[in-house]
Amino acid sequence: MKPTVKLFFFTWLYSLGFNAATAGDIPPQNSLPLSKVVTALEKKGFTPITEISMDDNVWQVEAFISGDERALTVDPTTAEILSDQPAH
């Protein structure tokens, strides 16, 4: 990878982490890694997953299933779907 591409990539990754930590809540200490939550949702048929944010200690997820956009609330410690509503 070229040095300028590496710099851009790592700057971009850093900005994502910084924005996640400052723009919303921080996941609870005993949370699953986000990658495991995403994998669990994908196994249930939710793909693509278009947005994820932490709010009030739960993941707020926008994803599609069978072509329908859904707004999900997901427990960060178990990846259990707590709420599944049509997206607005």
- Give residue-wise pLDDT tens across range 40-83: 999 999 999 999 999 999 999 999 999 999 999 999 999 999 99
Alpha helices for 1-86 (secondary structure H)? 3-23, 34-43
Nearest Cα to Cα of residue 32 among 75, 84, 83: 75
**What is the domain partition of the chain in residue ranges?**
27-86
Determine the 3-state secondary structure of 30 from DSSP: coil
- How many CB atoms are located within 10 Å of the residue 75 CB? 16
pLDDT band at 3 (very low <50, low <70, confident <90, very high): low
CATH number of 27-86: 3.10.450.40
Number of H helices, E strands in the chain: 2, 4
Determine the 3-state secondary structure of 28 from DSSP: coil
Q: CB of 74 within 8 A of CB of 61?
A: yes
